[in-house]
Amino acid sequence: MSAEYQVNGNIAVITLNNPPVNGLGHSTRTAIVNGMKQALNDDAVKAIVITGAGKAFSGGADIKEFNSPKASAEPSLHTVINVVEGSTKPVVAAIHTVCMGGGLELALGCNYRVAAKGAQIALPEVKLGILPGAGGTQRLPRVLGLEMALNMIVSGTPVPSEKLARTAIFNEVVEADVLTAALAFAAKVADVRPLPRVRDIKIDYPNYEAYLQFSRNTVRAMAGPFPAPLKCVEAVAAAVTKKFDDGIKFERELFVDLVQTTESKALRHAFFGERAASKLPDVPEDTPTRPIKSVAVIGAGTMGGGIAMNFANAGIPVQILEMKQEALEKGLATIRKNYENTLKKGKLTQEKFEQRVALITGTLAYEDIAQADIVIEAVFEDMGVKEQVFKKLDEVMKPGAILASNTSTLDVDKIADFTKRPEDVIGTHFFSPANVMKLLEIVRGKKTAKDVLATVLGLSKKIKKTGVVSGVCDGFIGNRMIEQYSRQAGFLLEEGCTPEQVDKAVEKLGFAMGPFRMGDLAGNDIGWYIRKRRYVEKPQITYSKTADLLCEMGRYGQKTGAGWYDYKPGDRKAYPSAVVNDMIIKHSADLSVERRKISDQEIVERLIFALVNEAAYILEEGIATRASDIDMVYLTGYGFPLHTGGPMFYADTVGLTNVVMSMEKYAKGRHGDAWKPAPLLAKLAAEGKTFN
């Protein structure tokens, strides 16, 4: 039953019961309407209380019903709210824990609201590229005032109930049991007439035109490519300028328009993609997991230190192992400094600072980490070095400990075979800076046990990462794809582009940074090291030699003060380099390549379609479970623009037939061998289908 009906004395109680957050799915909406009818038809019932079972009043729409006919089937949420608002008996919302989206809109349709302290109140629809569609933009300004309501709706950020206690949104905010308080309140107002309705409140805001114009200008500057924030302002403006029913109609029109936008579809795709990533077809959700109460990290460098901070932030003690005292002290000092910077910015309390620093300790002896529940190595990306570490870990770690490698490209199966317990070995590829970047690529070896996989997926959530599972291949999902992107970037230089032109073209689309700025940040020597290995292992793959020539000049990027760009001391801004541009032009001449003018469209297509084509191979080989997993890797780890939904969603938006046609065009140019469509891409395009 998705809502329960009971009578307590002369008060009816309708309890939403649709776990986990009492989403307002079709059956729940129907049960609310039926409960209201039952209460209104019972002369013994003098008032009605609506509340939620478990850990929520209501989190809003039922995400399981998104994009299905049930989402809009009658009774719609509008109908439910109209029934509640039109009640001839007082209706009290008993709000606790979570009251968001449609849940808050339902509460605003009630005559009274009693809230528990600490309840999270929000209209977060803007985060899905839409706006509140069941009266939220019209009713919230009437109880909170124009400014506070507009800020909540445009940001979508939850606010604790006690911060709203002085406004008209709640009649009471209580420490005690909220249902008991709501029943007492309902008894008190049982005979009050006329019944107060939020829709009847007048918004009093002198000079509202100037404030709304200021809001439009501010939101326009901050919203970037997303249309929803500005539409939220227009909807809230209607609450001030139109009659209530006209405002509701206008809100609905804006909602329907936004649902159809690519940006909203992209945000919803990312929302569902993040949830889908933690589900694997062959690993049931009830798979038992191993307890993780302590962590060890091998290596106190930038990566090791960043990894350790994730666990300390989650309250899990970490030991860092280094070979030399000096390296260990330097690593621990860097971690402390990072926390001090956060403390200075006011993003960390003194108490939390001390807690986190205390949770990270160092050692020089493998024996000291033997009892850790999981150990993550963050040593140099070299198979020989990994072999030494894993043989030693196999020797010292307790039975059942998870042995994880933070490798970005190496064969996890080979690493697992260095041990006598390959079922306990897994890849955990963190992205730098590891304490900031959201992505954790979880690499599943052939012999990785299901409980190990389930444990690490659960752990990724605990340390606030988006965990995406990849099979074993060179570079896994992210770096295997980025190699094709980087190859095209190099070829574009030979054919007529400068690093700045390539970077600007993709940054205009919304990338955090283009391939050359990214190379300078990561260190061009890392790519050079990997390419040298590729020249031996995969001689059939061609690369532009421009990046090698750059490294031969000692221009490794920001760390050496010079890379594809020039850098000034203490300044991370990339300045175009005449020396590099001259080197590129000379290299084109040495290859007898006549340089040409290249459009931004060609740059974007070649870079992104190269990613997409490689991703199609990855999907076909079963390295990634689903297309949305690939999108999550790129949205959370590689700065792919969120409003495009990731490379696979972007390709779906462009149309896979158009992607293949563009690839056929580029196949006629230099390095045409790179443009053979993957069989899966060709098949889907021919059938008029999509990846997602």
Considering the domain architecture, whether residues 200 and 110 belong to the same structural domain is answered as: yes
Could you confirm whether 74 is annotated as catalytic? Answer: no
Q: Is the pLDDT of residue 67 over 80?
A: no
pLDDT of residue 536: 82
Q: Tell me how far apart the alpha carbons of residues 378 and 299 are, in angstroms, rounded to a whole number.
A: 5
Q: How far apart are CA 259 and CA 253, in angstroms?
A: 10
231 and 320 fall within a common domain? no
What string of H, E and C letters represents the secondary structure of 311-353? Answer: HHHCCCCEEEECCCHHHHHHHHHHHHHHHHHHHHCCCCCHHHH
Is this model's pTM higher than 0.85 or not? yes
Task: Give the mean pLDDT of 14-28.
Answer: 96
Give the contacts of 306 (CB within 8 A, at least 6 positions apart). 430, 432, 433, 434, 435, 436
Find the catalytic residue in 65, 85, 125, 441. 125
Q: Which residues partner with 14 through β-bridges?
A: 5, 50
Overall average pLDDT of the 612-632 stretch: 98
Residue 433 preceded by cis peptide, ω within 30: yes
Peptide bond into 20 cis (omega under 30): yes
Q: How confident is the model at residue 310, as a pLDDT?
A: 97
Residue 266 has pLDDT above 70, yes or no: yes
Upstream peptide bond of 194 is cis (omega within 30 degrees of 0) = yes
Give phi and psi for 468, each to the nearest 5: -125, 130
Burial-class residue 581 by CB neighbours within 10 Å (0-12, 13-18, 19+).
middle
Instruction: Classify residue 109 by burial, with Cβ atoms within 10 Å: 0-12, 13-18, 19+.
Output: buried
So what's the pLDDT on residue 1?
A: 65
Long-range CB contact pairs, 383-387, < 8 A, 24+ = 383/410, 383/411, 383/414, 383/415, 386/410, 386/415, 386/418, 387/415, 387/418
pLDDT digits (tens, 9 = 90+) for 289-327: 999 999 999 999 999 999 999 999 999 999 999 999 999
Q: In this structure, is residue 584 part of a structural domain?
A: yes
Of 440, 408, 409, 406, nearest to 426 by C-alpha is: 406
Within this chain, do residues 489 and 454 fall inside the same structural domain, yes or no?
no
**Rounded Cα–Cα distance for residues 301 and 326 (Å):** 12
Residue 266 lies in a domain: no
Please report, for residues 4, 83, 200, 273, 690, the alpha-carbon distance to residue 91 in angstroms, rounded to integers and kept in the order given: 16, 11, 16, 38, 47
Residue 648 CA to residue 269 CA, distance in Å, equals 11
Total domains in the chain come to: 3
Structure tokens at 79: 């109908």
Domain boundary among the residues 419, 453, 470 is at 470
Residue 6 neighbours by CB under 8 Å, 6+ apart: 12, 13, 15
Does residue 461 sit in the same domain as residue 486? no
Look at residue 31 and tell me if it is in a domain.
yes
**CB 188, CB 164: distance < 8 Å:** no
Domain match, 446 and 500 both: no
The greatest distance separating any two alpha carbons of the chain, rounded to the nearest whole angstrom, comes to: 94
Query: What token pair was written down for 294?
Result: 């302590």
Note whether 494 and 538 are same-domain residues.
yes
Q: One-letter amino acid identity for 105?
A: E
Instruction: Please tell me the predicted confidence (pLDDT) of residue 249.
Output: 98
Query: Residue 68: its pLDDT value, please?
Result: 80
Q: What is the pLDDT of residues 205-235, one digit of tens each?
A: 889 999 999 999 999 999 999 999 999 999 9
Q: Which residues have C-beta within 8 Å of that of residue 159, sequence separation ≥ 6?
A: 120, 121, 122, 152
Angle between helices 499-509 and 515-522 (to 10 degrees): 110
Q: Say yes or no: 428 and 450 in one domain.
A: yes
Cα 629 to Cα 275: distance, rounded to the nearest angstrom = 10
Percent of the chain whose predicted confidence (pLDDT) is above 90: 91
Query: Residue 266 and residue 144: Cα distance in Å, rounded?
Result: 31
Portion of the chain with pLDDT greater than 70, in percent: 100
Four-residue CA torsion sign, 239, 242, 245, 247: negative
| CATH, residue 425 | 3.40.50.720
Round to whole Å and give the CA distance between 235 and 222.
18
Total count of residues recorded for the chain: 692
Residues 456, 494 within the same domain: no
Which tokens go with 274?
Answer: 């993040």
**Model confidence over 332-377: pLDDT tens digits?**
999 999 999 999 999 999 999 999 999 999 999 999 999 999 999 9
Q: Cα–Cα distance between 56 and 121 in angstroms, integer?
A: 11
Is 105 tagged catalytic? yes
Asked if residue 484 is part of any domain, the answer here is: yes
CA–CA gap between residue 559 and residue 432 (Å, rounded): 15
Q: Which of 502, 491, 678 is nearest to 604 (CA)?
A: 502
What pLDDT digit, counting tens, does each position of 484-496 carry? 999 999 999 999 9
Separation between Cα atoms, residue 225 and residue 641, nearest integer Å: 10
Which CATH number covers residue 132? 3.90.226.10
| 46 inside domain | yes
Are both 252 and 395 inside the same structural domain? no
pLDDT higher at 571 or 136: 136
Distance between CA atoms of residues 485 and 630, nearest Å: 15
Distance CA 563, CA 517 (A): 9
* pLDDT exceeds 80 at position 64: no
Q: Is the pLDDT confidence value at 559 over 80?
A: yes
Assess whether 533 and 439 both reside in one domain. Answer: no
Q: In angstroms, rounded to a whole number, what is the distance separating the alpha carbons of residues 266 and 236?
A: 24
Report the alpha-carbon distance of residue 471 to residue 74 in Å, rounded. 44
| Among the listed residues 130, 114, 261, the one whose alpha carbon sits nearest the alpha carbon of residue 187 | 114
Does the residue 278 lie in any domain? no
Q: Judge contact between 20 and 56, C-beta under 8 A.
A: yes
Gap between the Cα atoms of 530 and 515, Å rounded: 16
What single letter denotes the amino acid at residue 419?
T
Tell me the mean pLDDT in the region 636-653.
96
Beta strands in 571-664 (DSSP E): 571-576
Residue 439 falls inside a structural domain: yes
622 lies in a domain? yes
Domain finish residue from 212, 236, 259: 259
State whether 379 and 248 are in the same domain. Answer: no
Catalytic residue among 65, 85, 105, 441: 105
Establish whether the linkage from the previous residue to 75 is cis, with ω within 30° of 0.
Answer: yes
Contact 87, 36 (CB under 8 A): yes
**Chain center to CA of 258:** 21
Secondary structure letter of residue 107 according to DSSP:
H
Phi, psi of 362 (to 5 degrees): -120, 160
Q: Which residue blocks in 397-440 are alpha helix, DSSP H?
A: 412-416
pLDDT at 618 over 90: yes
Say what the pLDDT of residue 375 is.
98
- Say how far apart CA 575 and CA 420 lie, in whole Å: 51
**Is there a contact between 32 and 16 (Cβ–Cβ < 8 Å)?**
yes
Same domain, residue pair 451 and 527: no
For 155-190, the pLDDT digits (tens) are: 999 999 999 999 999 999 999 999 999 999 999 999
Report the half-sphere exposure of 119 (CA within 13 A, side-chain side). 38
How crowded is the C-beta side of 444, counted as CA atoms within 13 Å? 21
Last residue of a domain, one of 233, 259, 285: 259
User: How many CA atoms are closer than 13 Å to the CA of 161, on its beta-carbon side?
Assistant: 25
| Structural domain boundaries, residue 39 | 3-259
The CATH number of whichever domain residue 499 belongs to comes to 1.10.1040.50
